[in-house]
């Protein structure tokens, strides 16, 4: 038995070591060679339910990349950013699904690829949506939602802290302490909740972890009992549309979550955009100097 185990271990070692060695020795980006073969014609993506994945599939066909052998790899935000981290370290070629606001654009020297066919849409905002009837049942929370908005720089303050290991609730509390004027505007005229319950659903994207935790802290300051629940994008929209949740501040519109907005049309209230200037697309490290447009993936 012991011998068999040892044999197995030896086998694994022999098989796995060359594999990993081979992976980490992937060459640095060479602009004199075609990009496709250097990365196996692969775009490193995130979870299948994300709107940006649907957008990338559309881009693959709009830019004739599918015929050019290009493919989109499904993973997760965490796996994608860790692959990106490694590629950057060794100046290797990589194409990722990128979006803003996100700390990847602060932490890494990356750039969006131009999208002349406008597949990923022009202007994108993050909206606060509420269940039909929230305004009547919980006018205080509704009023807050009508007043809550910020920008990418402000959101990044929480996002970066969380990325550095600070608990989301703690990062949100610090933000509140540091921005009393903005907090006063958001809470202006919002009546005390006296323990009234409110449930927010969200998708655990870094941006929405930041905003949803902030909203929870803000409303708790006003005496509301706030539950926040992370879920898949589709379920998040369904929860608001079916009154299972009161609201969400994580609706990326009009393009990224457009299909859900269409699917649940009339069954949710689009309260307002809480953040303008969001963006989704494909991105590459800046050292890939000759790759600047999605169409370059085919030609360069």
Q: By the criterion CB under 6 A, which residues form the site for ligand PBE?
A: 46, 50-52, 99, 205, 207, 233, 252, 256-257, 280
Supply 190's token pair.
Answer: 């919002």
Q: How far is the CB of 110 from ligand PBE (least distance, A)?
A: 14
Please, what's the b/e burial string for 6-21 (b: 16 or more CB within 10 A of its CB; e: otherwise)?
Answer: eeeeeeeeeeeeeeee
- Whether residue 177 is preceded by a cis peptide bond, meaning omega within 30 degrees of 0, is no
Q: How far is the CB of 99 from ligand PBE (least distance, A)?
A: 4
CB of 206 or CB of 246, closer to ligand PBE: 206
CB of 28 or CB of 48, closer to ligand PBE: 48
Fill in the DSSP letter of residue 50: S
Q: How far is the CB of 235 from ligand PBE (least distance, A)?
A: 13
CB of 49 or CB of 223, closer to ligand PBE: 49
Quote the CA–CA distance of 273 and 222 in Å, as a whole number.
Answer: 22
Contact indicator for 125, 113 with CB cutoff of 8 Å: no
CB of 54 or CB of 223, closer to ligand PBE: 54
For 7, what's the count of Cα atoms within 13 Å in the CB-facing half-sphere? 4
Quote the CA–CA distance of 239 and 244 in Å, as a whole number.
Answer: 5
CB of 207 or CB of 239, closer to ligand PBE: 207
Quote the CA–CA distance of 196 and 111 in Å, as a whole number.
Answer: 45
Contact indicator for 284, 113 with CB cutoff of 8 Å: yes
Q: How far is the CB of 106 from ligand PBE (least distance, A)?
A: 15
CB of 233 or CB of 269, closer to ligand PBE: 233
Q: How far is the CB of 68 from ligand PBE (least distance, A)?
A: 23
Residue with tokens 């697309």: 281
Quote the CA–CA distance of 110 and 159 in Å, as a whole number.
Answer: 18
Q: How far is the CB of 203 from ligand PBE (least distance, A)?
A: 7
Contact indicator for 217, 173 with CB cutoff of 8 Å: yes
Residue by residue, DSSP assigns 79-132 as HHHHHHHHHHHTT----EEEEES-THHHHS-EEEPB-TT-TT-S-EEEEEEE-T
Residue by residue, DSSP assigns 206-253 as HHHHHHHHHHHHHHHHTT-EEEEEE--HHHHHHHHHTTSSSEEEEEEE
CB of 129 or CB of 233, closer to ligand PBE: 233
CB of 105 or CB of 205, closer to ligand PBE: 205
Q: How far is the CB of 206 from ligand PBE (least distance, A)?
A: 8
Q: How far is the CB of 292 from ligand PBE (least distance, A)?
A: 21
């Amino acid at each position: 038995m012991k011998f068999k185990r040892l044999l197995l271990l030896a086998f694994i070692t022999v098989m796995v070591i060359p594999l990993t060695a081979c992976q980490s020795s992937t060459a640095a980006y060479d602009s004199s060679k075609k990009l496709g073969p250097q990365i196996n014609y692969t775009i490193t993506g995130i979870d299948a339910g994300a709107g940006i994945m649907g957008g990338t599939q559309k881009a693959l066909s709009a830019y004739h990349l599918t015929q050019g052998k290009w493919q989109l790899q499904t993973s997760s935000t965490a796996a994608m950013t860790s692959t990106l981290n490694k590629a950057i370290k060794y100046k290797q070629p990589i194409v990722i699904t990128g979006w803003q606001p996100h700390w990847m654009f602060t932490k890494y020297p990356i750039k969006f690829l131009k999208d002349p066919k406008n597949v990923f849409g022009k202007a994108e905002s993050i909206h606060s949506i509420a269940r039909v009837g929230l305004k009547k049942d919980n006018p205080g929370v509704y009023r807050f939602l009508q007043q809550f908005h910020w920008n990418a720089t402000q959101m990044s303050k929480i996002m970066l802290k969380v990325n550095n290991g600070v608990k989301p609730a703690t990062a949100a509390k610090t933000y509140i302490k540091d921005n009393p004027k903005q907090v006063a505007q958001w809470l202006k005229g919002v009546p005390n909740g006296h323990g009234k319950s409110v449930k927010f659903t969200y998708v655990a994207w870094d941006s929405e972890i930041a905003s949803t935790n902030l909203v929870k802290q803000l409303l708790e300051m006003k005496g509301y009992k706030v539950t926040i629940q992370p879920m898949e994008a589709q379920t998040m929209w369904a929860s608001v549309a079916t009154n299972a949740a009161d609201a969400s501040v994580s609706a990326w519109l009009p393009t990224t979550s457009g299909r859900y907005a269409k699917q649940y049309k009339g069954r949710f209230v689009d309260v307002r955009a809480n953040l303008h200037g969001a963006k989704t697309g494909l991105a590459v490290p800046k050292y890939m100097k000759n790759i600047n447009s999605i169409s370059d993936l085919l030609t360069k």
